[in-house]
Amino acid sequence: MAVPILSLLLLFISIKSSADHVTNTFIDCLNNRSEPTFPITGTVYTPDNPSFSFVYYAYIRNHVFYNSTTTKPSLIITPLHVSHIQAAVICAQKHGMQMRTRSGGHDYEGLSYLSYSNSTPFFILDMFNLCSVDVNIEQETAWFQTGATLGEIYYRIAEKSNIMVSLVEFALRLRLVDIAVEVESMGEDLFWAITGGGGASFGVVLAFSFKLVCVPSQVTFFDVKRTSEKGIINIAYKWFLIAHKLDNDLFVRMSFDVVTNRKGMKSIRASFPSLFLENSTRLLSLVNDNFPELGLRESHCVEMSWVESTLAYAGSWLEHPSRLYFIELNNLKEIDHSRSNQTT
Is the same domain home to 17 and 112? yes
Contact yes or no for 127/147 (Cβ under 8 A): yes
The whole-number pLDDT of residue 208 equals 82
- Rounded (to 5) percent helix, strand, coil in the chain: 40, 25, 35
Contact yes or no for 272/242 (Cβ under 8 A): no
Count structural domains, the chain.
3
Is the same domain home to 15 and 118? yes
Is the same domain home to 34 and 117? yes
The whole-number pLDDT of residue 204 equals 83
Is the same domain home to 142 and 245? no
Distance CA 344, CA 106 (A): 6
The whole-number pLDDT of residue 327 equals 45
Is the same domain home to 204 and 227? no
Distance CA 30, CA 25 (A): 9
Is the same domain home to 148 and 249? no
Residue 273 is assigned to a structural domain of this protein: yes
Say which residue, 43 or 171, is predicted with more confidence: 43
Q: Which among 93, 126, 159 is the end of a domain?
A: 126
Q: Which among 172, 199, 214 is the end of a domain?
A: 214
Q: Which among 163, 188, 214 is the end of a domain?
A: 214
The whole-number pLDDT of residue 197 equals 52
Residue 256 pairs in a beta bridge with 270
Contact yes or no for 207/237 (Cβ under 8 A): no
Share of the chain above pLDDT 70, in %: 72
Asked if residue 121 has pLDDT above 70, the reply is yes
Kind plus residue range of the DSSP H or E element containing 206:
strand 205-214
Which of 70-74, 82-86, 169-173, 204-208 is predicted with the least confidence, judged by mean pLDDT?
169-173
pTM for this model (two decimals): 0.75
Q: How far is CA 91 from the centre of its chain?
A: 27
Domain containing residue 109: 11-126
Residue 226 pairs in a beta bridge with 270
